[in-house]
Chain A
Amino acid sequence: MLSSSSSKPPTQQLLQSADLISQGAEAKVYKAYLRQVSTSCLGPDHGAVLEALEPVLLKYRFHKHYRHPSLDASLTRQRIAGEARALMRCMRSGVAVPGIRMVDVNEGVLGIEWIDGKSVRQLLPGGAELEDISELEEADEMDEIHENGAADPIADYGVSRDALMVMIGVEIAKMHLADIIHGDLTTSNMMLRKQTNDLVLIDFGLAYHSTLVEDKAVDLYVLERAFASTHPDSEPLFAGVLSAYEKRMRKHWLPIKKRLDDVRLRGRKRSMVG
């Protein structure tokens, strides 16, 4: 009765009416609404108060035509499952991550909670580079403001840079204590929520489970390099992150610190075994 044999699959229809926000090599990211308000349903007994529909973020892992179709389907399914399970583990362990709102494995779409706010990258100096389509649209409006003197975006959030670094250190520590490795820790993958000023870790597409000190140390090292390459003079900022991380990790910190020093010396993934 409700099968869509006559038209496109429902999730494809959903994507069509959604706003494309950014496109990466692996996925396209959209802002969408899972349901609509029908004008025909509004009658005289419906008051002026309409339930505000919450948006969701859709991560669409589109078909990669360079892959064999069955491999593509299988890989996409595994990646979605991996990301969803990592998010679930984080939630249960108290790590601040977006909630899951919709999953369509057949079409390769993961729907997650829409986070209203800015990425940490955008809130720190050096990070205001235009990365995605919605920012490009904003830029025209922002140009005027910036001409009058640089408005520090973090000022809107009532959170100092130091306090932000502490929040970052704490969330990563909680994540590592739950033996979850993010796999792509950068300031673009952390957001500050507008109304609550809470930090949220996002994009768990490369996340995995590991108890190894090496993996946690590399996770931190990736963030350190990201800080250095994106934000000028960020050493004191990252030091603040590590200090909060150390405090939260307690006895677990020392082995990770040692490993981190090793990783820094050799660079990632370079084995000294000849």
Chain B
Amino acid sequence: METYYYSQFNHAVVRVALFDDVTNAAAIRSRIVQAARNLGVDGNTEREAVNFAFIDARLISSPLHLQTAIYQALLSEAQGQLRTKTVHSEILWALNPTNNITEAIRRYGVSDESTTLIVVRVDVSDTPDLQRRMCDVIQGCMVPFQALVKMTDWSIIKKHYKLDSESALKEVQGNLDRERSIIDNIVVSSVAMKNVMA
């Protein structure tokens, strides 16, 4: 599990885990939807159980991509300018190139077909028992975060960012490493500057 620490955001502690071979994606998704609807007291326990950002790992081009979205979400929260309900959903919003919240959740969040998930927890201090809480919700195998590099689906990313005919990529056609490094740079930069994209 990765830990990111931010003293400037009231010492926020962000934990990130990567899960492979996820078999209950559909159940997780419906659990999140149900928890959001549940207005009773037990709704709170349910919401707390899924109080994470669930991100489809295929759409993340690098750890930096995720870190940049997390940072912009933390910044929005600190400035009282969240576009979505929680900092976790804000991370999903930050990842999406457009302003459409539903699209962001649909594209970058857990979908019924997801088999690899990144799970992020933002907290004011280290959450006790975090690994158990994550494993309670997800039926899958927690793997080292470095394994992310094998999971990226570059063609979907290119599609979402309309990079299929971009001149920057035409130049380095054939050199896969260079091409992916350029895509990652464009994706990271787009996430960082989304607020001024206009």
In the complex, per-residue mask of A71-98: 1 if CB is within 8 Å of any chain B CB, else 0: 0000001001100110110011110000
Are B77 and A35 in touch, CB under 8 angstroms?
no
In the complex, per-residue mask of A1-20: 1 if CB is within 8 Å of any chain B CB, else 0: 11110110111011001000
Contacts of B169 in A (CB 8 A): 94
Q: How close is B79's CB to chain A, nearest CB, in angstroms?
A: 6
Are A10 and B78 in touch, CB under 8 angstroms?
yes
Stretch touching chain B among A21-29, A100-108, A254-262: A100-108
Contact-size category for A: 35 or more
Q: How close is A80's CB to chain B, nearest CB, in angstroms?
A: 6
Chain B CB within 8 A of A111 CB: yes
Q: How close is A102's CB to chain B, nearest CB, in angstroms?
A: 5
Stretch touching chain B among A36-44, A61-69, A217-225, A266-274: A36-44
Q: How close is A137's CB to chain B, nearest CB, in angstroms?
A: 26
Are B168 and A35 in touch, CB under 8 angstroms?
no
Are A41 and B87 in touch, CB under 8 angstroms?
no
Chain B CB within 8 A of A99 CB: yes
Contacts of B39 in A (CB 8 A): none
Q: How close is B48's CB to chain A, nearest CB, in angstroms?
A: 13
Contacts of B168 in A (CB 8 A): 91-94
Chain B CB within 8 A of A34 CB: yes
- A102 contacts which of B4, B68, B124, B163 (Cβ < 8 Å)? B68
In the complex, per-residue mask of B162-173: 1 if CB is within 8 Å of any chain A CB, else 0: 010011111100
Are B3 and A81 in touch, CB under 8 angstroms?
no
- B9 contacts which of A2, A17, A92, A113 (Cβ < 8 Å)? A2
- A100 contacts which of B74, B77, B189 (Cβ < 8 Å)? B189
Are A91 and B189 in touch, CB under 8 angstroms?
yes
Stretch touching chain A among B110-118, B152-160, B190-198: B190-198
Are B126 and A36 in touch, CB under 8 angstroms?
no
Considering the chains assembled together, what is the distance between the CA atoms of A1 and B123 in angstroms?
9
Are B77 and A13 in touch, CB under 8 angstroms?
no
Across the two chains, which residue of chain A brings its CB closest to B12? A2
Considering the chains assembled together, what is the distance between the CA atoms of A206 and B67 in angstroms?
29
- A9 contacts which of B6, B79, B167 (Cβ < 8 Å)? B79
Considering the chains assembled together, what is the distance between the CA atoms of A36 and B186 in angstroms?
25
Are B192 and A91 in touch, CB under 8 angstroms?
no
Are A35 and B4 in touch, CB under 8 angstroms?
yes
- A3 contacts which of B80, B167, B190, B197 (Cβ < 8 Å)? B80
Contacts of A92 in B (CB 8 A): 163, 166-168, 186
In the complex, per-residue mask of B1-27: 1 if CB is within 8 Å of any chain A CB, else 0: 001111111101100000000000000
In the complex, per-residue mask of B76-117: 1 if CB is within 8 Å of any chain A CB, else 0: 011110000001000000000000000000000000000000
Across the two chains, which residue of chain B brings its CB closest to A177? B167
Across the two chains, which residue of chain A brings its CB closest to B189? A100
20 contacts between A and B (CB under 8 A): A2-B10, A2-B77, A3-B10, A10-B9, A11-B75, A17-B7, A36-B5, A37-B5, A38-B3, A41-B5, A87-B189, A88-B189, A91-B185, A91-B186, A92-B168, A93-B167, A94-B171, A99-B185, A105-B195, A111-B192
Taking Cβ atoms with an 8 Å cutoff, the residues of A that contact B are 1-4, 6-7, 9-11, 13-14, 17, 34-38, 40-41, 54, 77, 80-81, 84-85, 87-88, 91-94, 99-106, 111, 113, 178
